[in-house]
Every structure is written in C-alpha cells, then in structure tokens.
Amino acid sequence: MESLGVVVNPIAGMGGRVGLKGTDGKLEEARRRGAKARAPDRAREALEAFARRAPEAAVYTGAGVLGETVARDVGLDPHVVSGPQTDVSDDVGPADADTSAADTRATVEALLGQGVDLVLFVGGDGTAVDVATVLEDAGASTPMLGVPAGVKIYSSVFAVTPADAGRIAAEFDRVETREVNDIDEAAYREGEVRTELRAVVPVPVASDVQSSKQVSSGNVDSLAAGFAREVDPERAYVFGPGGTVGAIESELGIDPSPLGVDIWHDEKVLARDATEDDILECLESVDGPVTIVVSPIGGQGFLFGRGNQQLSPAVIRRADEVDIVASGAKLDGIDALHVDTDDRDLNDELRGWQRVRTGRFTTRLVHVV
C-alpha cells in the first residue's frame, strides 16, 4: 500500500438512533431529534488501525469533515484534495455539515486523480453508490472498501467493523468483484425492503468483508409460538426490527413496527417504533428485568450495529439479557454472528458462544465474533 484515498460522509447514520431508519431526505428531522454524528468516530477507528500498519503510506482525503480533520486527529499528515464546494472547515461540526452526495463524488474524483491504491469511504449504502458511480464513470480499476457508518448496509463492500476496514486497507494484496446495493428509504420506513443492484466493483479480498444481506428468513411460526409460550410477565421486552422478531410480536397480539423497535411490558405496548431516547425513558419506568430480542441479519449475521442503532450501547447495558432468535434456515447461511455497537468493551462482552432459539423447543449454539 503506497497511497490511500479517504472520504468521510459526516452525516451518515445520524438517523439511526433517533428512529428514522436512514438519513436520506431526513437530515433536518434527525437534527431536530438531537442526532449526533457517528461517522467521524468510526472513521477515526479505521484510520488508527491503518496508521499502525502502514505508517509510511501517503494519505489523500477531502477537506475538513470530509476526512482531513479525522486524519489529523490520529496523527496522519494527509494531502488534502480539491473538489467539494460545501463549507467543510473545522468551524463546521460533523452533525451540522451540509455536505451532499456531490461532495462525496467530487472528493472521489480528486482522489482518483492522485492515483490512490484504494478508496476507503465512511458511510452507508448511499455513500457506496456515490463512490461506485464515480469509479464506474471514470472506468477506474481502483478498489473501494467501506467503513460501516450508515443505518442500512446491504452492500457487500463493507468491512465488518471500522478497525477491520483499516487493517484490510493496509494489508490487502488482491481484489474481487462485489455488489453495491441500495434501498428505497421511503419504502423502508414503511416496513418494505426494496433493494436494487447499483454497481459491481473491485473490493479487497478478506474474511472480514461482510456479505450482502439476504431479506428472506424462512418460516418462523413455531419459533414465535415457542417464545410467546415462555414470556415472563414480570419482564419488559425490547423487540428489535425484522420479520422474525415481528412474528413473535404478532403471536403476543402486538402490531409490530416491521423495521423499528417496540417495547412491551405487562401485556401493554409502551412504545412503538422507538428512538434510543424513547427506549431509555420507557425502561426508567420499568420496575423489573429487561430482555432485548433480536434476530441476526440474514447472510451477514449482525446482531447489533446494522439497521437497529436505536439499540445503542446504553440500551443494551440497561437490559438484563439478550435473546437471539432465528430460523434454522437463516442460521444455515451464516458462518458466525457479529456485533458492531460503537463500544469496543461492549462488543467484547457480547462475543463468544451464544444460544439462539430456532424453533418452538429447539436452540443452537452460534459463535459471536
């Protein structure tokens, strides 16, 4: 690795913890709800890992919040490329930056002009589409790799964690073609998943690059019935997104928010499609134990950190237990489960062998790595 190109989408993922399931077209609403920028911290973690392994590599990046600020924070001396027209100076905080897809594309064009060996981008599927579009339009063979920072991540061009991205960027020696997918956020907010293949691009070959997400999870009726039969009336339940968990809610007589988080206690729904703050506020009023119920993303195996950022480290630490549910068919397509919560200590606590309910009476031990 002689030179690395870096572009950060500073507003990526801001809609997650405030329950917006994405930031496209919802930035001002996310800010109104008090959303914080998460992309810079994830960029910092990736660049720290990269700098440890490739300290002599030249780093090219966008000005200010588009990458320069984070790169300097970790001790790098980046070459700042031209291109973006938006005010991205240090005087503008990441959450307040009015950057756009045009800024991402202009930065990537400038990075390609420098002949970088890899474009490392920080964002979600929308950012991946912007980067891939520039690469394809330029006819470039330059590989790309994503640092996961968005709410929804269906593309197979992202590393499992930010630290993995930095390590892979420094050490990869070959590439393979992988898919960039995007999702209709308006439909997603209504509970419908519509994905579209947008590009096929070169990506570093590594075991810690995630696969594309599968949206089918198989028959979960018996699983839902078994879970409902064992519900503890003294417990509060925080139900994560997805069809598997939604089937459990339906079995309990709850109208689930398909891609949101619901809270249920004493046979009552305390909150539906809740934000991180909603969840914490509800749980303050609960006098008793708390269970988070989640199902891994099909094909990828993520329990936390993809599409359910409302289940933040603070929420997870408030719970007494995490119940993992998945059909056997879904687990058959997953080598291991993953967590990416923005809290390294919590990630370590969640790793290890975990029992997953797969049916009315059946469970399976699966490794969380």
Q: State whether 156 and 271 are in the same domain.
A: no
Q: State whether 7 and 101 are in the same domain.
A: yes
212 in a domain, yes or no?
no
Q: State whether 192 and 292 are in the same domain.
A: no
216 in a domain, yes or no?
no
160 in a domain, yes or no?
yes
Asked which of 144, 175, 204 is the last residue of a domain, the reply is 204
Q: State whether 195 and 260 are in the same domain.
A: no
> What pTM value is reported for the model?
0.68
Q: State whether 68 and 191 are in the same domain.
A: yes
Q: State whether 142 and 242 are in the same domain.
A: no
What is the torsional sign of CA 280, 285, 291, 295?
A: negative
Task: Provide the domain count of the chain.
Answer: 2
210 in a domain, yes or no?
no
pLDDT in tens, the chain (369 residues): 899 999 999 888 776 665 655 556 565 665 667 667 788 999 999 999 999 999 999 999 999 889 999 999 999 999 999 655 565 555 555 555 667 889 999 999 999 999 999 999 999 998 999 999 999 999 999 999 999 998 768 888 999 999 999 999 999 999 999 989 877 655 555 555 566 788 889 999 998 888 766 544 446 888 998 899 899 999 999 999 999 999 999 999 999 997 899 999 999 999 999 999 999 999 999 989 999 999 998 888 999 999 899 999 999 999 999 999 998 888 887 889 999 999 999 999 999 989 899 888 788 888 998
In this structure, how many other beta carbons lie within 10 angstroms of the beta carbon of residue 75?
10
Query: Containing domain of residue 353, as a range?
Result: 221-368
Which CATH number characterizes residue 55's domain?
3.40.50
